[in-house]
Amino acid sequence: MASKKNPNPNPPDPVASIPALPLGGGFGRDLANWLFPAFLLMIIAGFFAIWKIGSPAGNPNPVRSLFLTMNCATLSGFSEGPGAGALNDVGQWIAFLLIVGGSLFTMIVGGLAVIRIVRLPFTDLELITGALIVEAIVLLVGSSLLWEVDRSPFQAMFLAGTSFGNCGQYIANFPKPILIHAILLPLSILGGLGLPVLMELWCAIVFRAKMSLHSKTVLAATAWLYIIGFVLILGLNLAGHSWAEVIGKQLPAASVLSVESRTGGLNIVHIDVLSQSSRWILVILMMIGASPAGTASGLKTTTIVELGRGVRKILRGEAISRSFAIAIVWVGTYLSLLLGATLLLSHVSENDSADNTLFNAVSGMSNVGLTVAPVPSQKSVMYAYCAIILVARMAPLMILWWMAETMADAELAIG
């Protein structure tokens, strides 16, 4: 009598069957090596294009062209004068392409590192394709929702791209408050979540796949930071305002700033109308920023969470991971660069107050672009901001790849 075959007691796990990406290597690492110089070449090409053909007739100022180019490519919101709105039609298209290119650069280079650090089941090609699809959907859907009578299709697409890119540059008036909260702020939040988190969200919704601890942490930290920032900013600006002003102005302003300070940078609400204490809340939010592999910058939400987890383990006498050490190094690096940025800005802007200088230095080191007063049209000041925002864009990506090359596995990506 033929014996029955025993079924396999340990069926293969479909997730485990996906080959793990090589530690800090493979096609993605080689591509990231090339994308860094390609990003710099994009900035140089964009500068010459805006300087020579994108600037309005009779005003081909190379310093202003470099300043605007650097802000668009690094997704920062600093503006001298009218900013990108002063460019001719060709210049505005160049600025738009720089913003899209900067968004793709940060998402792809950061995302290739994150999927290695937290071992997500995505290949390099899938992540690159995901970045292109996400950017295309944002531009298509966002522009269709923002296209109004007083806003051309290109202006709507520019506003959608700069909102998702957490850039802060714009060429048309902002939409009505309801559209700001329904479209612009959600786009900034989505851009700040990071490409791997967006891809995991899609898989969780469509395929009911489980999300990694990294993505769950990013979503929870983003929600809590918005709530905490909103409550603190609103609470510190209640004095001297009637209930009608609180509901009509202070409430939406607090909501906008709680998002745009991390690190959208759109100048929807003027900083000079805030109380001094609430500005310090903005400084903290700007320092934290958003999450890895997104279009925003800053220390990142996962860095703060990892520091908290590490301190809790130390107090309990438990062993800490290498991620905690990397988080400490990254915070130390950020603070050192922030000190250098503060000294540089205080040197070139001697007439500015100390608290405003620190505010602008944090805004630059997190690629935010919010300022208490407009950036002065001085060569030394604009050169200083260019250097700060370029370093600020590169530094967290380098930390991510350092972690990807030295850790076999981690729960959270730092940088």
Residue-wise pLDDT tens for the chain (415 aa)? 344 444 444 444 444 444 555 566 689 999 999 999 999 999 999 999 999 999 876 566 899 999 999 999 999 989 877 788 889 999 999 999 999 999 999 999 999 999 999 999 999 999 999 999 999 999 999 999 999 877 899 999 999 999 999 998 989 889 888 999 999 999 999 999 999 999 999 999 999 999 999 999 999 999 999 999 999 999 998 877 777 777 778 899 999 999 999 878 898 988 877 888 999 999 999 999 999 999 999 999 999 999 999 999 999 999 998 999 999 999 999 999 999 999 999 999 888 889 999 999 999 999 999 998 889 889 999 999 999 999 999 999 999 999 999 987 799 999 9
262: enclosing H helix or E strand:
none
Position 120 scores a pLDDT of: 94
Task: State whether residue 166 is helix, strand or coil.
Answer: coil
Give the SS3 label for residue 319.
coil
Res 24: pLDDT: 62
SS3 assignment, position 148: strand
pTM (two decimals): 0.92
The confidence score (pLDDT) of residue 12 equals: 44
pLDDT (0 to 100) of residue 4: 41
Q: Determine the pLDDT at residue 226.
A: 97
Q: Centre a 10 Å sphere on the Cβ of residue 5 and count the other Cβ atoms it contains.
A: 6
Residue from 23, 21, 73 nearest 46 by CA: 73
The domain ranges of the chain are 26-406
pLDDT at 23: 62
Q: CA 375 to CA 373: how far, in whole Å?
A: 7
What's the pLDDT score for residue 334? 98
Round to whole Å and give the CA distance between 230 and 228: 5
Question: What phi and psi, each to the nearest 5 degrees, are found at residue 174?
Answer: -70, 150
CA distance 301 to 299: 7
Q: Which residues contact 170 (CB under 8 A, 6 or more apart)?
A: 83, 84, 85, 158, 159, 162, 266
